[in-house]
Amino acid sequence: MKKITTNQIFWPLAAFIVLLVYNAFFAKNFFKISILDGHLYGNLIDILKNFAPLALLSIGMTLVIATGGVDISVGSVVAISGAIACSIIDGRLGIFDHSFVAALILALLSGIACGLWNGFLVAKVKIQPMVATLILMTAGRGIAQLITKGKIVTINSAPMMKEYYFLGAGYFLGLPFAFFIVVAVFTIVMILVKRTAFGLFLQSLGTNPKSSRLSGIKVDRIKLVVYTISGLMASIAGILISSNIKGADCNNAGLFIELDAILSVAIGGNSLNGGRFMIPASIVGALFVQCLTTTVYALGVPPEAISLLKAIVILVLCLFQSDSFRQKVFKGTGRWRKGADAA
């Protein structure tokens, strides 16, 4: 029993299930899934679709946090990548006009470039990660606005609109296509982390950077790689977000999403000081965050109360995750274990 509750993924998963059970009783039609135009249709499907950008960001963020850093520029990178992709699809840049492939490639390249820049500042220039990525967080939205000339780019009438819309809002085998992107990216990253030396080095770097360096691990290079991965994830997320609304909204796309990504990693039980990490747990964290949002809408919580409600739910979850809190409150009674089972 103890083995299960101390497993990192237990608490986020338990919280997610509790939330679903709650919805089964209190949210009207929450679990209803029907078939529409050959794909599944329902709240749960929406959660799978809408959590995709956050899930991607939380994958990147987990790796960055594992090195003891943080990347708060991801929201701005989301805006840049969306701006580039939509501008090309709409034919506003003057190069590669209306080219679907060029839009994707350039958007992804922009994310890689942003990630390299962050990695360079952190690994080579040795600026603190929070400050280094703050630079791009501030400047990034400006860059995105320069690309779109401060306007919201709408691609409703562009020739490749249908293909682009498919990425973020289309369906494949009955499920949202965005979900398959998450699965694919997750698989690739898991192979990278579990089947190569990279994952081991990453963990060692977060636990003790000094001894890692002394034992011959190229610390700088690993940092450069993780920030680049984070940038790349942000650019994919940017494509999905802009695709879902058929347009690039530089002021609002990915606004404060970096906080949600960090939150997902924290809910996943990863230490923000670096070291041991578990990507699946972060993804469950992202799933929980999105499920909470959808729940709030489905329940019809008044808008003024949403932020507070979310904060309380997350506070309770974090308290349960804390070993010392559990020991203090439920010491010796054994009651909490039963409670957790029932949940």
The residues that touch other proteins, with contacts defined as CB under 8 A, are 27-30, 32, 36-37, 41-43, 46, 50, 145, 150-152, 154, 156-157, 169, 241, 244-247, 249, 251-253, 293-294, 297-298, 300, 303-304, 306
Q: Closest approach of Cβ 106 to other proteins, in Å?
A: 22
Nearer to other proteins, 223 or 246 (CB): 246
Q: Closest approach of Cβ 160 to other proteins, in Å?
A: 17
Nearer to other proteins, 62 or 294 (CB): 294
Q: How far is CA 65 from each of CA 115, 116, 258, 268, 310, rounded to the nearest angstrom?
A: 14, 16, 12, 12, 23
Which residue is listed with tokens 């809190």?
325
Nearer to other proteins, 279 or 289 (CB): 289
Nearer to other proteins, 175 or 306 (CB): 306
Nearer to other proteins, 56 or 245 (CB): 245
Which residue is listed with tokens 């041991």?
276
The number of angstroms, rounded, from the C-alpha of 40 to the middle of its chain's C-alpha atoms is: 24
Q: Closest approach of Cβ 53 to other proteins, in Å?
A: 10
Q: Closest approach of Cβ 293 to other proteins, in Å?
A: 7
| Token reading at 323 | 């070993």
Q: Closest approach of Cβ 242 to other proteins, in Å?
A: 9
Nearer to other proteins, 83 or 205 (CB): 83
What H or E segment, with its residue span, contains residue 153? strand 153-154
Q: Which of 150, 146, 71, 166 is nearest to 111 (CA)?
A: 71
What DSSP string describes 204-223? HHHH-HHHHHHTT--HHHHH
Q: Which residues face 35 on adjacent strands? A: 40
Q: Closest approach of Cβ 138 to other proteins, in Å?
A: 12
Tell me the backbone φ, ψ of residue 128, rounded to 5 degrees. -60, 140
Nearer to other proteins, 36 or 200 (CB): 36
Whole-number Å distance between alpha carbons of 85 and 239 = 7
Query: What sign for the dihedral angle of Cα 55, 189, 164, 174?
Result: negative
Q: Which of 309, 278, 320 is nearest to 15 (CA)?
A: 320
Q: Closest approach of Cβ 232 to other proteins, in Å?
A: 21
